[in-house]
Amino acid sequence: MKIIVIGAVAAGTSAAAKARRNSEDAQITIYEKDSYISYSGCGMPYFLSKAVATAEELAPRDPAFFRSKYNIEIKTRHEVLSINPDEKTILVKNLATDHVFPDSYDTLILAIGARAVTPPIPGREGAHVFTLRNINDMLAIHSFLEEKRPKSAAIIGTGFIGLEMCESLVRLGVSVTLLEKLPQVTPGLDPDMAVYVEAHLKKNGIAVKTGVSIASIEATSVVLADGTTVPAELVLLSTGVRPNSELALAAGVTLGASGAILVNERMETNQPGIFACGDCIEEFHIVTGKQVYRPLGSTANKTGRIAGDCATGGNLAYRGTLGTGIFRVLGLTVGQTGLTEREAREAGYDAAICHSTKPDRPEYFGGKEMVIKAVADRETGRLLGAQIVGEAGVDKRIDVFATAITYGAKVEDLFYLDLAYAPPFSTTKDPVLYTGMILENAIHGGRPLMTAQELLARTEAGEPVTIIDTRAPAQYEKAHVEGAISIPLSELRAAIESLDKDAVTVTYCNKGVTGNAAQNILLLNGFKHVYNLSGGMNQYRMVKNSRKR
């Protein structure tokens, strides 16, 4: 059996290695047009910030390693120009010699990846303008930083790579401006969680401009559409990636709506004998079952292994993606898994939302607060997604949520999880358990929540709402929800007779716990329409302030 793999980064090398584990007899060849193989693309920003000492640490394996360990031949600087699926042949160009030659296959695995999107901005060809997609990009940026010592940089786009590079450049003493065409940073988050990221960036001295368009890139600046000039001796384009699917399309391989290759759960394309994996394919979402494009290193390795297994007669099958991701920027960790609120509503779910602010471990052990937003289906109680922003403990919780969603957990199931507890690691009731309690109360326990956006929409529309601030009077005087009345929790029972039991009533405190206690009191005393403000005053303040910009 002759197996040819096109692409030698995460997916391609994983596919080839798994194929070899399944078959000692197969002849396996990988063609890679780049010079570097099997590297950690996600580690590149940390090399640039000198957190990783050498580039070799990100690319520790070379063709000799794969030849010695797996008996796999990797030919770098070889570009596959075309595929003929009828004859099962490919046309290859040796980029070092320009020699073009054919090769044949019994099974072909496409691991051709994706490339950085470069918007058509005048000046994008400048020597100080970069993308960061591969090791060559990284080395070019590194050389520029070492030789030119730029003092200012503009990063266009605020996804994972953009914000990780923001941290790297700041650590090198570069003044950074973030430019985003959307009205929020971190497009993968809901706006009411993105506000925490933007506030943190600004607190750390990062200039952030959202809702902007770029007119041109100049030698030492970026010019916005409104004429504003942003100093930028270095410019990074971080505006997403596009699948390298042209080679497949020319060979008659079917593409999905995103332009990525369409595969089944065995990584098979519509063309017999041709598999595909990694950043060039569409996957299906675990929650919705619909096709999505989520190019992630972890997914590339997973789909590569499945492709290599199935190409050699195995039975592995892909089980879907949640798009789980995490990144760190200037001490803040941001994690996300499953559906956002927007995605849930677009998919037709009656979404129940909660915001919870809890420490990752007890305060006496140095606990740091994290904000958790969870999304559930009100009809079934199924957990649909979660987003977390915090300084510590985010990785542990987002992985628990991802596991729970993968196995179809309902919100009430979260409370019963037997999670590890000791003061150095967690609170007695872990933030994951609290999230389940809050959502279970909201969906099944008659303790509904109202988000800050919903409350603002009601009050701005002039709808009558009784809003009760249950905090201490001094906190109320310092800041409160517009239109709220001050009734501390200890005085609420005495004030019940003065309140309208038929009115829509919203209770709140700083984070939600005391507001929930007040909600319980009112409901047990015959009030019919009582909501607790999700996330309390803290969440309301963040959302309200973001609307003032």
- Do β-strands 27-32 and 325-329 pair in parallel, antiparallel, or remain unpaired? unpaired
Q: Domain 449-547 maps to which CATH number in 3.30.70.1230, 3.40.250.10, 1.25.40.340, 3.90.1200.10?
A: 3.40.250.10
The per-residue pLDDT for range 9-43, each reduced to its tens digit, is: 999 999 999 999 999 999 999 999 999 999 999 99
> What ranges do the domains of the chain cover?
2-40+49-114+242-311, 129-239, 331-443, 449-547
Residue 21, both tokens: 């584990």
Model pLDDT, residue 548: 65
Q: Is residue 544 over pLDDT 80?
A: yes
The per-residue pLDDT for range 153-203, each reduced to its tens digit, is: 999 999 999 999 999 999 999 999 999 999 999 999 999 999 999 999 999
Asked whether the domain spanning 449-547 has the same topology as the one spanning 129-239, the reply is no
Bridge partner residues of 537 (DSSP): none
Q: Is residue 482 over pLDDT 70?
A: yes
Model pLDDT, residue 546: 84
Give pTM, 2 decimals. Answer: 0.95
The sign of the CA dihedral 471, 475, 478, 479 is negative
Q: Domain 331-443 maps to which CATH number in 3.20.20.70, 3.30.530.20, 3.40.250.10, 3.50.50.60?
A: 3.50.50.60
Model pLDDT, residue 19: 98
Nearest to 211 by CA among 176, 187, 190, 241: 187
The per-residue pLDDT for range 76-122, each reduced to its tens digit, is: 999 999 999 999 999 999 999 999 999 999 999 999 999 999 999 99
The domain defined by 129-239 folds into: FAD/NAD(P)-binding domain (3.50.50)
Distance CA 450, CA 319 (A): 34
How buried is residue 380: exposed, middle or buried, by Cβ count under 10 Å (0-12/13-18/19+)?
middle
pLDDT more than 90, % of the chain:
99
The per-residue pLDDT for range 284-318, each reduced to its tens digit, is: 999 999 999 999 999 999 999 999 999 999 999 99
- Do β-strands 234-237 and 207-210 pair in parallel, antiparallel, or remain unpaired? unpaired
Instruction: Please answer whether residues 482 and 547 qualify as being in contact, where contact means their C-beta atoms are separated by less than 8 angstroms.
Output: no
Verify whether residue 310 is a known catalytic residue: no
CATH class in words for 2-40+49-114+242-311: alpha beta
Distance CA 532, CA 515 (A): 6
The per-residue pLDDT for range 59-71, each reduced to its tens digit, is: 989 999 999 999 9
Q: From start to end of 238-290, where are the E strands?
A: 241-243, 274-276, 283-284
**Average pLDDT score over the chain:** 96
Q: From start to end of 149-201, where are the E strands?
A: 152-156, 175-180
The per-residue pLDDT for range 351-389, each reduced to its tens digit, is: 999 999 999 999 999 999 999 999 999 999 999 999 999
Listing DSSP states for 189-229 in one string gives S-HHHHHHHHHHHHHTT-EEEES--EEEE-SSEEEETTS-E
- The stretch 130-158 carries a mean pLDDT of 97
Bridge partner residues of 75 (DSSP): 31
Nearest to 274 by CA among 72, 110, 111: 110
Model pLDDT, residue 547: 78
Model pLDDT, residue 549: 60
| Catalytic residue selected from 42, 166, 277, 280 | 42
Phi/psi at 179 (nearest 5 deg)?
-120, 125
